Amino acid sequence: MKRFNKILCLIIVIAVLFCNMGLLSYAVEGSANYYYFDSVNGDDNNSGTDIENPIKTLAGLKELKVGPGTHFLFKNGGEYECATTLTCKGTKDNPVVISSYGDGERAILKTDEKTEVLKLFDCSYVTVSNLHIKAPNGGGIWIDTRNETSEGIVLDNIYFTDMQNYKVHSRDDNTNGAAVGRAAVMVKGLPAKSRYAVNNLTIRNCEVYNCANGFMIWGSWNEEQNPWCEEDEVDPVYNKGLLIDGCYFHEMDAEAVIVGMCDGALVTDCRAINCCQGEGVDENGEIEYFTAAMWFWGSENSTIQYCEIAGQKNVGDGMAIDFDSHTNNCTYQYIYSHDNVRFMCNCPNHSGHYGNTVRYCLSVNDNAARSTTAVGSEGEHNFSFYNNTIVNCGEFQLKNLYDSYVANNIFVLEKGKTIAYDMGSKRNNVYENNCYYNVMKPLVDTGSMNILPGFSGDDYSDKNSFLLSKDSPLVGAGSRIDDDVTTDFFGNEITSNNIGCYGGTGTESEYEEEGFLDAIARKLRGVKDTIIHEIKVIFD
């Protein structure tokens, strides 16, 4: 009877595999099994278990054993219909592998249906690598935990393309997978369907092109899975150990990376170029929705660093720096932000954010709209904003800060733009050793400089233009900050306490001092612009 039941179970698994384009279920934990696919020369009458006898399609699988070390290998140069759900476990030293073999262009896994190419449900230690994934009507990979915690999934060297990259009139749906989210990768969802985390997920060396969204990472928020709950109901289960490294996102309607409900996440050495191309306005110019390239939501102790973010067009957001909704103790550092709508717009809710940091970033031409440290009175608390260089920006709001530190920054505004700030000693903020140009110094920061910074060059398309001349008055004029930072934005060892994101002793370029009359005219213009701005604020 037991033997009969086992045979019946195997028949059911194979039947579902044929009907659903592949339900690859965890079956045994034994020796490694290899399954080879060749869409050109394979034959579904083959077993597929050796490289000389590959099968042609996923539907051709006759027998299935998935355990540690199982490999599903697709021959390069081929194209494979794949809408597959995998539920299995490898081990740290012997993962389940989905990859390619042979010469030629990387193997393509695709689906034309409105679903995901791969669903990894309740999986641990699975590696997906060296593939091209496309889904013109669906999504790439959906990782979810329905019954248990996930550990150690790796997505490596995957080219994600052609995923519903068209204009929309609202934010994308993040509740139910990568297909409805128009995403290359969706982890869980907002709200999540379970209280189990996805831990130690690594996504590295991937490219996302002509997709609406990139990597949308979500944990679990509270027992009711209500992301908009009251503050005393927040009880998150964080995804821990997320690493996104060396990925390139470009030509996308919406967002590159959301770090949602993570603890200890690291996004590093990535580029997001021409993402958020959906402007998000209707025919009357009214804002319909908001998107940003790389942002935190409800996360703790996480970092986005060494990333280039450029060319965003979304009118409502379109910023590089975005701490959103209950994000605390997180950091943006070494960010090269240029030609975006704005540099920063943080959105705290509940009782505000605590302990976030922005340091050693360079912003150039982020000037289509104003930047702000915090929208709403809940504000940023214990916020650190230092050694950043902000060039040719729009209005910059140092607003809704409490017990915060703003130091060693260069603010060069577009002509006619202003610095907005909060007054009042009760906020207990410290402003020191900043440099302002083309704008008045804020009254809360009277001890800082209003002077030509002395950049090494004038080519705004070259980030090295924003090194400092050795004769710049900003070299050595900054506050010494006790932190763990040893290198500046440009990768140099910090040898001088400077103002701005450069930490060296200066380049050999000549510093041209501003003429006396030019400086007076500039400062008077700044006074006029500030008065006009304040009058507008009063009457608006």
SS (H, E, C) 66-85: CCCCCEEEEECCCEEECCEE
* DSSP assigned state of 463: G
Summarize pLDDT for 326-353 with one digit per residue, the tens.
999 999 999 999 999 999 999 998 899 9
Strand partners, 187: 143, 217
Instruction: Answer yes or no: are the C-beta atoms of 346 and 373 closer than 8 Å.
Output: yes
Q: Supply the pLDDT for residue 66.
A: 87
* Of 245, 355, 350, residue with least CA distance to 300: 355
| CB contact at 8 A, 247 and 203 | yes
- Collect the ranges in the chain with pLDDT lower than 50: 1-31, 537-538
- Looking at residue 459, its pLDDT comes to 95
**pLDDT (0 to 100) of residue 175:** 93
pLDDT of residue 302: 98
- Could you report the per-residue pLDDT of 470-519, keeping only the tens digit for each? 999 999 999 999 999 999 999 999 999 999 999 999 999 987 776 655 56
- Tell me how far the alpha carbon of residue 465 is from its chain's centroid: 26
Q: Is 109 helix (H, G, I), strand (E, B) or coil?
A: strand
- Residue 533 is predicted with a pLDDT of 52
Give the pTM: 0.91
The confidence score (pLDDT) of residue 230 equals 87
Residue 426's pLDDT is 73
Torsion of CA 232, 216, 238, 224, to 10 degrees: 40
Give phi and psi for 396, each to the nearest 5: -120, 120
Alpha carbon distance 59, 24 (integer Å):
11
Residues contacting residue 78 through CB under 8 Å, at least 6 positions apart: 37, 38, 39, 40, 107, 108
User: How far, in Å, are 2, 204, 264 from residue 243 at the CA level?
Assistant: 44, 8, 9
pLDDT at 442: 87
